[in-house]
Structure 1
């Protein structure tokens, strides 16, 4: 199943989640309503009174669940980092020099670039000695990846890579959004337990020794609160039961799929299988001791605690290993447990024994041309392979370490991004420098000009990866600083009176990523548009790309026709050169990003057909393709 098929599957699973939640809420409401009627001794009353009590109880219960779920969901609008911090996570600095943390960040950066998504925030749970990890967030733009200290201590680089690749599959496939929604829903149905305990406490304090003689008092034993409290605790237990069933039904099969994706990505089973064996062979296993583990159990790499098979959020450990290594004997876990009881594994020492070392810097690769086929590119969307990972490692190795260091540093990332967008023409660059002086002052303007000089020799294939590396540092800036930088970026690209495709795409990508990270879209309803209703926007996109990549009007017409043949089989469309050039794209993103998966798949194929209409795609064209796909939320790995 490709990316677009998985997106459709996630949409169906979201609908299934809502249905399960509604069924659980109905069961809880019925339980509470019956208890309220009993507590007030109303069974002998007229039907109107009984119905009135039931409706009131149902309304209050439903409202409580709804408000609690809404409150919890809103509290998570900060994105994946919010979840990590709640579990005791500590943010790993972008420019860390700690060997353990640098290894972790290197693995995350390489996999992010290989996947075509922004580099997520990285957290460590320093108090957790079990081997575990999770990815959280509303979208790849506000995602966070967290690993336990036990993972850093016990896993070698191959195993850590396998675990991180597993988590990235959740990032790419949209599982994170489903997971974070599930946290909010579970909080709502578990909230009644808290209310019930409070009612019990208040009821006993208020009613202790008070033997009222009223008619209601005689029927309810003088105080209905304890009985209602007991009922709500019972309803809360129903919620716990339902919640765990929901977690299990949502999570189990996806863990197998994520394991398989990690193997496809890393092209070796020893990494992720080794991590699973260490979970099985070490006494700490994948245990997470944080009290919030119950909320996030469905999103962890390994089960945070032991549960019965009915409620388990993950498949049995031995089964997961056996899928990866069919010859695996579960008795091996006992042997490993005995071995590691004497000498626990040390991930960094294993790295030394395995000969891992940072990649050596290499000369910039020439800008090759590669033949592409639209349907092949579509299968690569959100489906990185081992070649993608190797390509990402090579790209990072080719970027000077000093440049990477400035991209990772919040103090220097602003001038670097501005320098990346400055024009090659000296007169245009001088105009941009004057604009930056007016916007940000002499110091920043001079720093950006210096960066432009240093980055002048950067190969086209390195520009987008460098921007992706810079994103976490940009996201760590204060909101006011981010807004000032965005204002400077748009002033910069307009300073010379023209906007190139690269300038537009990079600035639009930066704007979109920062806006999404500051205000994640946490709504339940996602836009659903069809290609039939968005044809005009799609044709504008194809026309802009045809115009940008063609040396003549004839070639542009040919490229446009190639895209239309894929987008609208059997139909024709007139090519009209976009009067405002690339700026015309401002009108298309909202309509095209909301296309249903099948239609978005066809649009991506049409885009590839336009860019590759001459049979080849240059590195610059490939990076343009990746940028456009990113704006459409179709992450594309680097094309080899």
Structure 2
């Protein structure tokens, strides 16, 4: 099952949850009506009065459940994944941390983000929790957070931590986080009825106290039965998603030892995976391991030995007893295990660990490097990064100069670096950009951006967007009042020369989306309704035309590539090849329609895009940047294309 099928499956599960929720609410409303009408002896009343009573009782019951569910989901959505982590006592891990354990955690998260094609999430540590556990939370990848316990940091080695983080990224990529928030909202709404009933029990007074007590007691019982059923549903859904996340984590890292090692340590240490925080029940279905003791029916995770057996068929459950005896007096130390493998050097500074030295630049990179690509391979990689993607992500990050990596992790330097990426090579345009920044931010910021631009001029073009993706983490943690001016300044820098290059468009568009979602917790591209391929043929044709011209030499070759893409996607459409009159900026209008497509139709769009860029058998940096940008806007996370370096060829009319 590929990414698009998994997305379709998650949507189907969400629809089933809504149906189950509505069924449960309907059952609760009927039972509350039955109890209330009996308690107040309304059955013998006139039909009009009986109907009025039923309507009032039903409306009040549904309002309590429905409104509290919606409010709960809205609060979780607007707070982002970080709000969930902070609720459990999570402490934010600074982007520029020098602590070896925290730096190792951030390195693993950054590598996994680049490998999977999603933004670097916020990173938290549950410092008070000695058990081994983790979770991912958020409404979308752009506002997601990954949290690990202190026990996971201390007990797991790098391979094991990598396996756990890969497991959590699977939840991010597959859409499980949104499903988890909906589950939390539904259960909270049903629980609200029980809480309201409890209040009614304590407040019943006067001559009508007896029927009120009867109604409150009945509603309390019905509410808790509803909660019971909701938890059963939550547990069943969660167990299936955990098996998929385990399998995905192995696919991402291409080794089972890390994930099985983490699971064995959970079974072998005294703390296991249990959390002590009082809110653990709310997030039990989001955790890497079982967060509290449940009976089998309510367990949110498969039994530990079954998870290990699925990954390692030779596993003997008796091994957990032996590990428990061994670790009872001397618990495992992940950092010591890494040290024995020579993997801890350089962690304090964020440098590559020993044994993972930065790769030397390839010969000919400055002249442009072209790479063969197949559409079926790219589509298969979306949302499903392989071990090669993870290794390539590590290489990409190691090839970025350490000084720049430290800069984009720094709260103060990250902004001038992002601005520096947009500085022109032409001296007169640079002067204009410098003056614009000085007028908005002052001389110090303008000078800093100009200085960064001079250093960035030596950066391999294929590393610019990965550098920006790491920078997003530090940018998102600035105050929301600072983010709109950053977007406005970026737009001013891009428009300084009256032209719009492919890289400028990609960087500006990704920056706008990322910061917009950080402020509003919703995508600027999300369409309120579903769209179809046939109904958006003109928008798709415009995108393919731009992509064809970006990677082909000459109008004739571009038209041939465009027609190949259209033939694959919309064979019956007869839309001639033509470039947007106003240039790349016209693409802004098509994103809501394309993002509103069904997940399986998005798959066809991506395949047709790859058909266009591979028409000449190779892919250039410009093509790769636009492809990765479009996939990000359509919420189809694309791993980096292997070997893309150096400037591309071709061009698009500028505005």
Note the alpha carbon deviations across 1:233-278, whole angstroms, 9 max, x for none: 2122112211111202321111111100000111110111111111
Task: Out of 428-437 and 16-25, give the one that drifted further.
Answer: 428-437
Preserved CA contact (<8 Å) 2:65 2:189: yes
The CA RMSD over aligned residues, in Å, is: 1.9
What's 1:431 paired with? 432
Shift of 1:520: 2.1
Contact 1:36–1:54 (CA<8 Å) still a contact in 2? no
**Native 8 Å contact 2:551 2:619 kept in 1:** no
Give the SS at the match of 2:500.
Answer: coil
Q: In 1, Cα distance between the equivalents of 2:611 and 2:527? A: 32
- Secondary structure of the 1:261 match is helix
Q: Tell me the equivalent position of 1:595.
A: 597
Distance 1:149 1:525, change over 3 A: farther
Residue deviations 1:151-179, cap 9 Å, x none?
Answer: 11111111110000001011111111111
Contact 2:265/2:272, CA 8 A, preserved across alignment:
yes
- Conservation of the 8 A alpha-carbon contact between 1:81 and 1:143: yes
What is the match of residue 10 of structure 1? 10
Mark the CA change 1:525 to 1:176 in structure 2 (over 3 Å): closer, same or farther. farther
Matches within 5 A, 1:439-458: 439-458=440-459
Secondary structure of 2:450's match? helix
Deviation at 1:39, TM superposition (A): 2.7
Question: Which residue number in structure 1 is paired with residue 231 of structure 2?
Answer: 244
Deviation, structure 1 residue 56? 2.3
Q: What is the alpha-carbon distance in structure 2 between the residues aligned to residue 28 and residue 475 of structure 1?
A: 42
Tell me if structure 1 keeps the 8 A contact 2:503–2:625.
Answer: no
Return 572-581 or 340-349, whichever deviates more. Answer: 572-581
How far is the alpha carbon of 1:401 from its aligned partner?
Answer: 1.3
Give the secondary-structure state (helix, strand or coil) at the position aligned to 1:573.
Answer: coil
Separation in 1, partners of 2:614, 2:625 = 13
Question: How far, CA to CA, are the matches of 2:66 and 2:633 in structure 1?
Answer: 34
In structure 2, list runs of 5 or more residues that go unmatched: 345-352, 643-655
The offset of 1:142, in angstroms, is: 0.7
Q: Does 1:169 align with 2:156?
A: no
Distance 1:47 1:184 in 2: 36
Match of 2:614 among 609, 612, 629: 612
- Is 1:340 the equivalent of 2:310? no
Structure-to-structure mapping, 1:282-297, within 5 angstroms: 282-297=269-284
When structure 1 is superposed on structure 2, of 539-548 and 36-45 the one drifting more is 36-45
Return the offset for 1:535. 0.7
Q: Is the 8 A contact 2:551 2:622 kept in 1?
A: no
Higher mean displacement: 331-340 or 137-146: 331-340
Q: Distance in 2 between matches of 1:322 and 1:434?
A: 63
- The partner residue of 2:341 within 354, 362, 377 is 354
Does residue 539 of structure 1 match 2:548? Answer: no
Q: Given the alignment, which residue of 224, 246, 263 partners 1:276?
A: 263
Structure 2 partner of 1:138: 139
Partner of 2:554 in structure 1? 552
Q: Note the C-alpha offset of 1:9.
A: 0.7
Q: CA deviation at 1:547?
A: 2.2
Contact map agreement 1:432 1:496 (CA 8 A) in 2: no
Give distance in 1, aligned partners of 2:579 and 2:216: 70
Q: Distance in 2 between matches of 1:560 and 1:378?
A: 19
Q: 2:571 aligns with which of 569, 572, 575?
A: 569
Tell me the CA shift for residue 430 of structure 1: 2.2
| Structure 1: runs of 5+ lacking an equivalent | none
What is the match of residue 635 of structure 1?
A: 637
Q: TM-score, normalised by structure 1?
A: 0.94
Distance 1:112 1:558 in 2: 35
| Residue 360 of structure 2, aligned match among 351, 363, 381 | 363
1:355 deviates by 2.5
Q: CA deviation at 1:107?
A: 0.4
Displacement after TM superposition at 1:43 (Å): 4.8
Paired residues of 2:267 and 2:320 also in contact (CA < 8 A): yes
Structure 2 match to 1:479? 480
Q: Provide the TM-score with structure 2 as the length reference.
A: 0.92
* Structure 2 contact 400–463 (Cα < 8 Å) conserved: yes
| Counterpart in the other structure of 2:420 | 419
Shift in Å, 1:447: 0.9
Residue 397 of structure 1: SS of its match in structure 2?
A: helix
Tell me the CA shift for residue 454 of structure 1.
0.5
